[in-house]
Amino acid sequence: MLRTISLLLMLSLLLLLPLGGCSKVEKRIDPEYEIGAAQLLVVPFQQKTTAPSVLRWHYESVPGNTLARAIRVQLPTSCDGVTLISDERVQELVFHTDSDQVPWHKIGREVGASHILTGRIEHLSFRDRRSIGMLQGRLRGYWNLFRVEDGRSVLRREFDIRVPENPESGRIYVSFETSEDELLGAMLAALAQRVTSVLCGESIDKID
C-alpha cells in the first residue's frame, strides 16, 4: 500500500511541477517567512484517526510519512538556499521523548538543523454524504515550522484540502481519481505544493 501511494504521489507531483524553459521569466509572490539559507529537517506528520480513535505518532502514519517525502521532493525545486537534513537518526530521538511535547530544539541541534517542519493530520476521509456514490477526499490538519535556535514555532498554518471539489460549492465536478490511493496521492501532492508555496514563494505568472 505504501509503495502504491508513493508512486501515485510522485505522478501527482510531476503533474504539479512547472515545466522548465529558457525563454520564460518567472514572477513570484514572496514567501510568508524568510527562511533564508536554512538547514531544514522535515519530520513525518502525526495522524489522528477516528476508527479507532488513535493518534499515530511521527513515523507511524503512512500518509504522514508519504507527505514528508512529497515535501522533500518539492522544496529543492522551489527554495534556493535551503538544504534538506537527513532524518536518519530522528525517528529514534522522537520515540524516546517522555512527553507529547517533542523537544524539537534539542533534536534539531543533534542533527545539525536550523529549522524543523512537521505537523498533524487531524482528519482524512474519502466519502461525503453530499456526494453519494462518488469519491470525495478531504485532508485537514496543521503544520508547524520550528526554529531550532530557541525552539519557537515561527510559522503555523492550518490546511483543508478537498479533491476533487468542495461539495458545498454546488458546482458539478469530474473526478479523475478512481481509487482511495489515487485520491490520497492527489491530496498529499496538493498539500506539499501549498506548504512549499508558503515557505518558498509562489509563481504567479510567466512572461516571454
- Read out DSSP for 130-180? TSTTS--EEEEEEEEEEETTT--EEEEEEEEEEES--GGG---------SH
Q: Which CATH number fits domain 2-15+38-202: 1.10.150.240, 3.30.450.20, 3.40.50.10610, 3.40.50.12780?
A: 3.40.50.10610
State the burial class of residue 139 (Cβ atoms within 10 Å of its Cβ: 0-12, 13-18, 19+): buried
Residues 148 and 165: their CA atoms lie apart, in Å, by 37
pTM, rounded to two decimals: 0.77
Question: Per-residue confidence of the chain (208 residues) as pLDDT tens digits?
Answer: 555 555 555 555 544 444 344 444 455 566 777 888 899 999 999 998 876 778 888 899 999 999 999 999 988 888 888 999 999 989 988 886 655 678 999 999 999 999 999 999 999 988 776 666 677 888 999 999 999 999 999 999 999 998 876 656 555 455 565 788 888 999 999 999 999 989 887 655 533 3
Antiparallel, parallel or unpaired: β 153-163 and 115-125:
unpaired
Residues 208 and 206: their CA atoms lie apart, in Å, by 7
Residues 34 and 28: their CA atoms lie apart, in Å, by 14
